[in-house]
Amino acid sequence: MESKRRSIAKTLSWRVWATIITAAVVYVSTNKLQFAMEIGLIDTTIKLGAYFFHERLWNKVGFGRGPSPKQDYQI
């Protein structure tokens, strides 16, 4: 199980790359830098939240995970 902090860090690091890619594609397609930056910002804002919640939901799914190790606690 991942912590929320790890999910946030993964979300932010991925979105930096994804924003650069989106803005670059828009810029190459339109040759308009300001428009490319606006689209990159809008895309990032929406997808940041979507990715975080997607990660948190997948943490609740057991598919593809092995059994969690049992820990013995002794006092």
Handedness of CA 51, 56, 59, 63 (dihedral sign): negative
Residue 72 lies in a domain: no
Q: What per-residue confidence (pLDDT) applies to 4?
A: 84
Span 25-50, pLDDT tens digits: 999 999 999 999 999 999 988 988 88
Total number of domains in the chain: 1
Answering whether pTM is above 0.85, one says: no
pLDDT band, residue 74 (cuts 50/70/90):
low
In a domain, 37, yes or no: yes
The H or E element containing residue 26 is helix 4-30
Q: Is residue 63 part of a domain?
A: no
**What residues make up the domain containing 49?**
18-58
Residues 6 or more apart whose Cβ sits within 8 Å of residue 27:
33, 36
pLDDT at residue 75 greater than cutoff 70: no
CB atoms within 10 A of CB 56: 13
DSSP class of residue 70 equals P
* CB-based contacts of 15, cutoff 8 Å, min separation 6: 44, 47, 48, 51
Of 6-15, 20-29, 30-39, where does mean pLDDT reach its minimum? Answer: 6-15
Domain-embedded: residue 23: yes
Does residue 66 belong to any structural domain of this protein? Answer: no
